[in-house]
Amino acid sequence: MDSRLQPQARSLHAFASLNSRDLRRLFPVVTVLLAWLILKSMRSQSAASLQNEAFVTGYSLASICVLLMLLGVRKRVLSPQIGRLAIWQQTHHYLGLLSVGAYALHANVITSGWLESALALSFWSIAITGFVSWYVNHTAPKLLRAAGSQILRQDIPVRSRLVAKQAHELALASAGKNDTAALADHYRVHVSNYFTTRRNWIYRISPSGGKRRRLLAGLENIDRYLSAEGRAQRREMSLLVQARDDLDFQSAIQNRIRLWASAHSWLLGTFLVLTIAHVILAHQFTSSW
């Protein structure tokens, strides 16, 4: 190939690759939009033929919600070989978008009646918790990587107890000598509770490194009272403080993921129960079983 054409060829190849990536990302959005337009057309045709268009949008919305619940079934019941979990999750997200559009076609923004109000509150709670759950899952990997290698949630309490035991043993070792006793005194007054008690609810909701920084600064301030051996022990204690903070941070982030996912699943189940009651009452009042 002519050397003058090589830069142009590389640019065209990069442009084609970029378009391919964009198309793969755009395809699900277009699919959701087309599905919503089809549903809207079905509702218009139903109204034009003097049928109850609410049945079309209502049953479509209920069907979408059943499909949304399949992700939970996939996680708990079905074999791992039945599709990649990432594909199930992505499908769940786009079905969630479609459900919002279907609900907008089916119900008014302001509803009347206790059942309809409960349905509306339940649905929008599902939408909000679903978005928050997606955001938490999307940002969690980066946060967890910042705290070191990821640890399974059920292993964190065991690791925390091990770190607390190491800190206590280090403090005991420093208590027997005059040139390291300051570390033991500081541990007893300022640090021991950090290793033996759970973090408060504010930290579990929004974890931050403020307490870790204060503890590390306090430990560094006693260096002038320590010998070379004592300063080495102090550095070990500082590492244990950081290790405990990393474990607490991982626990808070993983529990946050679990909390929002559980709330989302529970609300979806509640919505389906209310939907069944709504369908029964709607058919009874319209006499169209």
Instruction: For the chain, 289 residues long, give each residue's pLDDT as a single digit of tens.
Output: 444 445 555 554 554 554 566 667 778 888 888 988 988 888 888 877 767 778 888 889 888 888 888 877 776 665 656 777 778 888 888 999 999 999 888 886 666 678 888 888 999 999 999 999 999 888 888 888 877 777 888 899 999 999 999 999 999 999 878 888 999 999 999 999 999 999 988 888 888 889 999 999 999 999 999 999 999 999 999 999 999 999 999 999 999 999 998 899 889 888 888 888 888 887 777 655 4
pLDDT at residue 12, rounded to an integer: 46
| Residue 95: closest CA among 282, 275, 268, 289 | 268
Query: What is the amino acid identity at position 87?
Result: I
Cα–Cα distance, 133 to 34 (Å, whole number): 26
| Residue 282: closest CA among 121, 127, 107, 50 | 107
Q: Give rounded-to-5 percent helix, strand, coil for the chain.
A: 85, 0, 15
Number of H helices, E strands in the chain: 10, 0
Cα–Cα distance, 208 to 197 (Å, whole number): 17
The DSSP code for 82 is: S
Cβ contact 122:274 at 8 Å:
yes
Cα Rg of the chain, angstroms: 29
Cβ contact 195:244 at 8 Å:
yes
Distances (CA, A) of 163 to 157, 184, 215: 10, 16, 16
Q: Is the pTM of this model over 0.85?
A: no
Q: What angle do CA 87, 89, 93 make, to 5 degrees?
A: 115
pLDDT at residue 188, rounded to an integer: 93
Structure tokens at 122: 């339940």
